[in-house]
Chains A and B, each alone.
Chain A
Amino acid sequence: MRKAFNQELLKIAEKDPRVFMILADIGYGEIEPFANAFPDRFINCGVAEQNMTGVACGVAMEGNIAVTYSIANFPTLRCLEQIRNDVCYHDANVKIVIIGGGVSYGELGISHHSTEDIAIMRALPNMVVLVPSDIVEARAATHAMMAYDGPVYYRCGYKGEPDLHDGKNIPDFRIGGSSLLREGKDATMFFAGPIGINAVKAVDALAVEGIQCRLVSLYSIKPIDKEAIMRAARETGGIVVLEEHNLYGGVGSAVAEVLMDEGCGNVPFKRLALPDVNVTKVGSQAWLRDQYGLGVADVANAVKDMVK
């Protein structure tokens, strides 16, 4: 996914001279084409994320589009106040891109996991939050983000994520939209990010058993596709939300907020998220998902429990 993002960004920067890349010494093997093509619009601030974000804000205040880019929590939590006071308060055209959402960097440990980011970023005024699930959405989200005038948080995966869209583009991709992957009436599963592969596998297995579960990628968490959520509440038997994020404040919370605000609090509802504990087990992303209750069987069982 990170490759898809960098390729699209390069294409956009070729056409738009306002695009700057502001880094903090992360991006080896991916950012070099941008750095070589646009040396005057590329700066490595060194290992200094607060400064990276402040510099990006200053660049953006002068009429440019500044992209910050780093691993997991580095460009978000390390410099949260710069994002809040500088970027969001000034509505600056800064795009904050993380590589390695959730537990993508599983074996590296919690310093490299991004598991509270959605909750924190979506609480910031003016901030748009995008969570693409595969390379199709990653490419589309890059273009949507760069065309939007204002702060955007873009939670990218890492590498080698499976394509959930069978290579088909999403013609109506938009900030505030969602992507329907499977139709169904028995229940709806919403997800965000590359964890969607477990949702696809679970929903396809359920179909074999005769359970028709609607499957929707909520690639835009803020603003969120209220219409899709309300349709799910009206038309299907219940809602399950799957995310690779702490249980509190993430995608499940965002969906629940919509349901409650719209008077649909009585719809059967279940969140599947990382429990509110520190991830201390050591292992790959796929293994950690299984260990913390987000495996394919967990996802399928959650739907079964709801529809039985």
Chain B
Amino acid sequence: MASEAKRECCSLARRIRLHCLHMVYNGKSGHIGSMLSTADIYPVLYTQVLNVDPAFPKKPDRDRFLLSKGHGGAALLACLAELGFFPLGWLNRYYCDDGKLSGHISHHVPGVEFSTGSLGHGLPVACGMALAAKQAGKTHRVFVMCSDGDLNEGSSWEAIMLAGQHRWDNLVMLVDYNRLQALGRSEDIINLDPLAPKLEMFGWRAVEADGHDFASIESALKNVPIEKGRPTAVIFHTVKGKGVSFMENEYKWHYGGLTEELLAKALKEVGEA
């Protein structure tokens, strides 16, 4: 990864984290841990991988990106705002009366492909988009980001089976594999391990990467689809709450609840100027 691109991603990731902290505090909302675990993936995805244009969010040949773990949507919103899909000022009214941005991601916001919030919805819809693209001979790709909890849902596995069956190689699943979910450690609730071999057995090509290392993220994503005739899964090993020491790997920050004091501490750690 070029050092300039790395610097750009690093800076964007820091701003995403700062926005998320402010948004969650201002809106008195939660899910901060689920936002922070994805904050390093979006900069690489949106500046190095996806074919998207903030000036034309609906351009027909865009790569589709669906966030299936819609509860972590504030990180995506912050990224989209930073890239100019909509005004940064909208972030200040996240989760607020008459704001434009709800707690779960909505397609009424420019740059957001699909609305989610209930888990297990992203993969099936992404499959439909991949099917339609194949049928029409189009070459754009369909990306969908899932999570541990998202992969508890039966509907996700219905879609995983179908995609493998039909060899939709224009479909790319990104897994924010932070190993925590709402009520505890994933391995104590529904242990997905070993995830990559499972997906391979379902006909996918699965690779793993460090979801907080820009070079690793870029290396995993730059050549997707990895194999002709197979959907791709990129399993990002991430840390819930990444970047804020008292949140990292603490499942209570799935919901969270930031006090003024904790906000100040978190902002300092992330590096607010």
A59–B159 CB distance below 8 A: no
Does A189 interact with chain B (Cβ within 8 Å)?
no
- Over the window 118-157 of chain B, the binary record of Cβ atoms lying under 8 Å from chain A Cβ atoms (1 yes, 0 no) is 1011011111111111011000000000000000001100
A57–B161 CB distance below 8 A: no
> Which chain A residues numbered 6 to 25 have a C-beta less than 8 Å away from chain B?
20, 22
A61–B114 CB distance below 8 A: yes
Chain B residues close to A by CB (< 8 Å): 107, 114-118, 120-121, 123-133, 135-136, 154-155, 158-159, 161-162, 165-166
Quick one: which of A46, A57, A63, A81 contacts B125, CB cutoff 8 A? A57
Does A89 interact with chain B (Cβ within 8 Å)?
yes
In terms of DSSP, what is the predominant structure of the interface of chain A? Answer: helix
In whole Å, how far is A151's beta carbon from the nearest beta carbon of chain B? 14
Q: Which residue of A lies closest to B107 (CB)?
A: A90
Max chain A CB contacts within 10 Å: which of B116, B128, B133, B154? B128
Q: Which residue of A lies closest to B117 (CB)?
A: A85
Known: A40-B135, A62-B133. A45 touches B125 (CB 8 A): no
A57–B158 CB distance below 8 A: no
Max chain B CB contacts within 10 Å: which of A51, A56, A64, A66? A51
Q: Which residue of B lies closest to A49 (CB)?
A: B158
B124–A85 CB distance below 8 A: no
Inter-chain contacts of A53 with B (CB < 8 A): 124
> How far is A82 from B124 in the complex, measured between Cα atoms in Å?
10
Inter-chain contacts of A230 with B (CB < 8 A): none
Identify the 9 closest CB pairs spanning chains A and B, nearest first.
Answer: A58-B128, A54-B124, A51-B158, A62-B132, A48-B158, A55-B128, A50-B155, A58-B125, A58-B129
Q: How many residues of A contact B (CB 8 A)?
A: 29
> How far is A174 from B192 in the complex, measured between Cα atoms in Å?
51
Q: Which residue of B lies closest to A64 (CB)?
A: B132
In whole Å, how far is A52's beta carbon from the nearest beta carbon of chain B? 8
> How far is A90 from B114 in the complex, measured between Cα atoms in Å?
8
Inter-chain contacts of A51 with B (CB < 8 A): 124, 127, 155, 158-159, 162
Does A60 interact with chain B (Cβ within 8 Å)?
yes
> How far is A60 from B128 in the complex, measured between Cα atoms in Å?
8
Known: A58-B127, A62-B129, A85-B115. A50 touches B135 (CB 8 A): no
Known: A48-B162, A90-B107. A54 touches B155 (CB 8 A): yes
